[in-house]
Structure 1
Amino acid sequence: MKKYQIQNTPYIVPTTDGKHIEEHHGKIATGNTEISIARMIAPPHWSEPFQTPEFDEYTYIITGKKQFIIEGDTIVLEAGQSIRIQKNARIQYSNPFDEPCEYLSVCLPAFTMEAVHREE
Structure 2
Amino acid sequence: MPELISAPTRIPVPGGKLIDEYAGRVTTGTGAVSVAHMVAPAGWEEPAQTPEFDEYTVVLRGTLLVEHDGGVTEVSARQGVVTRAGERVRYRTGPDGAEYVAVCLPAFAPDLAHRED
Taking structure 1 as the reference length, what is the TM-score of the superposition?
0.94
Distance in 2, matches of 1:83 and 1:42, equals 17
State, as a whole percentage, how many aligned pairs show the same letter. 37
Aligned residues: 117
Per-residue Cα deviation, 1:4-50 (whole angstroms, up to 9, x for no partner): 11212211001111000000000011101000000000110000000
Distance in 2, matches of 1:5 and 1:71, equals 40
Distance in 2, matches of 1:12 and 1:71, equals 31
In the alignment, structure 2 segments of 5+ residues that lack a partner are none
In the alignment, structure 1 segments of 5+ residues that lack a partner are none
Q: How far does residue 71 in structure 1 lie from its aligned partner after superposition?
A: 2.0
Q: How far does residue 98 in structure 1 lie from its aligned partner after superposition?
A: 2.3
What pairs with 1:74-113 in structure 2 (closer than 5 Å)? Answer: 74-95=72-93, 97-113=94-110
The residue matched to 1:46 in structure 2 has which SS?
coil
Which residue does the alignment assign to 1:71?
A: 69
Distance in 2, matches of 1:70 and 1:29, equals 30
Query: Does residue 108 of structure 2 align to residue 116 of structure 1?
Result: no
Per-residue Cα deviation, 1:67-104 (whole angstroms, up to 9, x for no partner): 00122421101000001111010000001x22121000
Taking structure 2 as the reference length, what is the TM-score of the superposition?
0.97
Distance in 1, matches of 2:30 and 2:44, equals 28
Which residue does the alignment assign to 1:31?
A: 29
Distance in 1, matches of 2:54 and 2:79, equals 17
Structure 1 runs, 4 residues or longer, greater than 6 Å off = none
Distance in 2, matches of 1:68 and 1:100, equals 13
Which residue does the alignment assign to 1:52?
A: 50
Aligned CA-pair RMSD: 0.8
Q: Which has the higher strand share?
A: 2
